[in-house]
Amino acid sequence: MESGRPLLQTGKKVSLGILLEADVPFLFRVINDPDVHRYLSNPGRMMYEHEELEWVRTLGQKEQDSRHFAIVENGSGEIVGVVGVREINFSNGSGILGYFLSKEYWGKGYSTEAVALAVEFCFGTLNMRKLVSAVFEPNTASMKVLIKNGFKECGRYHKHSFVRGHGFVDDVLFEKFNEEHAP
């Protein structure tokens, strides 16, 4: 079990912890994996190691309007992915949810649980009102993660984004309200 990483949310399979400088090699490898980044916003962007280091080092200052967590495998204590909410608007109580997992951990239910924990943090700790997320249509795994966490499709940008191997695809928009603040 990895020691020293503070955990903020603990689940059965994974937990959410604070990102560390020691995570930079993992981030650099995974974020540049074409199978991972083709489904992220700005898929053609190459991420440099110094940018990852800078990102982690400045998270504290930037976390006024975002929260990013290491997804940590409970059994090994290893980082397996990242989940975060960005563009938090405290007037509207809204924010944009995003996540990715290293390929070797796909299909174990880790993202479904990590998103549940992030939602719990956003609604239970930050008292946010709603979360939104956009998924490229071929990304069925990601849509399942959101739907299993109670997100509802609320619209689409048709043929909006170019995804390698698929051409122009719809951006499928999802939202989830904090039940305590339901409209």
Ligand X SMILES: CC(C)(COP(=O)(O)OP(=O)(O)OC[C@H]1O[C@@H](n2cnc3c(N)ncnc32)[C@H](O)[C@@H]1OP(=O)(O)O)[C@@H](O)C(=O)NCCC(=O)NCCS
| Residues binding ligand X (CB under 6 A) | 36, 39-40, 99-101, 106-112, 135, 139-142, 144-145
Please answer whether residues 156 and 173 qualify as being in contact, where contact means their C-beta atoms are separated by less than 8 angstroms. yes
Region class of 45: left (phi > 0), else alpha (psi between -120 and 50), else beta: beta
Q: CA–CA distance from 144 to each of 56, 109, 137, 139 (Å)?
A: 29, 10, 11, 9
Helices and strands, number each (H, E), in the chain: 6, 8
Shortest Cβ 143–ligand X spacing (Å)? 8
Structure-token pair, residue 8: 């903020």
Q: Amino acid identity, residue 75? A: G
Shortest Cβ 119–ligand X spacing (Å)? 14
Shortest Cβ 30–ligand X spacing (Å)? 8
Shortest Cβ 148–ligand X spacing (Å)? 6
* 24-31 vs 49-57: helix crossing angle, rounded to 10: 130
Closer residue to ligand X in complex, CB, 64/173: 173
Report the alpha-carbon distance of residue 22 to residue 5 in Å, rounded. Answer: 10
Shortest Cβ 25–ligand X spacing (Å)? 18
Closer residue to ligand X in complex, CB, 126/173: 173
